[in-house]
Structure 1
Amino acid sequence: MSKIQPISFRSMDEFLDYLPENEKEIVLFPRAIILECLPGCKEKLAYNVPYYYRNSRICFIWPPSVPWGNVNIKGVQLGFCQGYLLRDELNYLEKGDRKQVYWKCFSSLEEIDVALVRNFLFEALEIDSMSGRK
C-alpha cells in the first residue's frame, strides 16, 4: 500500500468484492465485452484495477471507489492505453490533459455504447498486434 493508493488487492475476486454493487455492475459489463473482443488477452491487476494485455497494455477498467492520489473519478473509466492512436471522429473518448491514454466514463449501464466500445477494442487490439511484430 502507498499514500497514493491505500488499498491492495491480491486477486480479481478480491477487487470485485470490494466494489459497491452499482460500480460492480458497471465494471462487469465492459469486462465481458473486453473478454469477448480480446480473446486470449491476459487480465491482470495493476494499480489495483484490471488491465488487459496481449503484447502490451491494451485497456483498463478503473472504478471510482479505487483511489489514485487526489484524482476524483466521477464514474467507471474504460481506458485505452494507446488511445491517442485510435480513430475517434465522434470525440467519444475523453482526453483531459493526457497525451496517450484516452478513456470514457460511465455512471450507468445505459451510457455504454456497446457497438462503439467494441469497435475501439478491435482497433486497440489491431494496434497492439502491430506493436508486437518485429
Structure 2
Amino acid sequence: MHPVDEFILNYQGKQREIMLYISHLLLDQPGVYGKITYKIPFFYRKSWLCYLNPTRDGGIEFAFIRGHELSNDSGLLISRGRKQVMGITFYDVREIPYDSIAEIIHEAILLDEQATKNPKSASDRSAS
C-alpha cells in the first residue's frame, strides 16, 4: 500500500473522507504524486504543491506551499500569518467547493510548471 493511502486510512470518519476526496483530485492530475513528508501527505509535481494536515479539532487543512503567489480569486485561501503558505480547513467533504478547489489546484500546477529547480552540481557541492 502506498504510504499516503496508509496515512489516510489510519484516520476515521470525516477526516478520512476529506483526505481521500482531495488526494484523488490531486492524483488525477498529470504528473502529481504523493509522499509523506514531515509526517503528513505532501503532493508534488516538479516541486511541493500542497499538503493535507489533520487538525486537532477534527478538520483537514488543505494548504498550498506557494499560496501567496496564487490569485485566490475565490477568497478561500487564508494565510494565518504565514509568509508563503495559504490554506483552507474543511470539516466535512460536503463543504468542499469542487469548482473552486479544482481551479486552485490547476493554478498551483501552472505555477509549479514555471518553477525552476537548479540543483547544485557536484563541483558546487564540493566547494561548500
Q: TM-score, normalised by structure 1?
A: 0.79
Partner of 2:22: 30
Moved more, 94-103 or 40-49: 40-49
Q: Secondary structure at the match of 1:79?
A: strand
Percent identity, aligned pairs only, is 27
Q: Deviations over 1:9-56 (max 9, x none)?
A: x922431232122210111011111112x3221210011111111111
Correspondence for 2:69 among 79, 85, 94: 85
Correspondence for 1:61 among 18, 41, 52: 52
Q: Is the 8 A contact 2:53 2:61 kept in 1?
A: yes
Q: 1:133–1:14: structure 2 CA closer, same or farther, 3 Å change rule?
A: closer
Given the alignment of the two structures, is residue 41 of structure 1 paired with residue 32 of structure 2, yes or no? yes
- Aligned residues between the structures: 117
Given the alignment of the two structures, is residue 18 of structure 1 paired with residue 2 of structure 2, yes or no? no
Partner of 2:126: none
Q: Is the 8 A contact 2:74 2:100 kept in 1?
A: no
Over aligned residue pairs, what C-alpha RMSD do you find?
Answer: 1.9
Structure 2: where are the runs of 5+ without partners? 119-128
Query: Which structure's relative contact order is higher, taking Cα pairs within 8 Å and 6+ residues apart?
Result: 1
Q: TM-score, normalised by structure 2?
A: 0.82
Q: CA deviation at 1:73?
A: 5.4
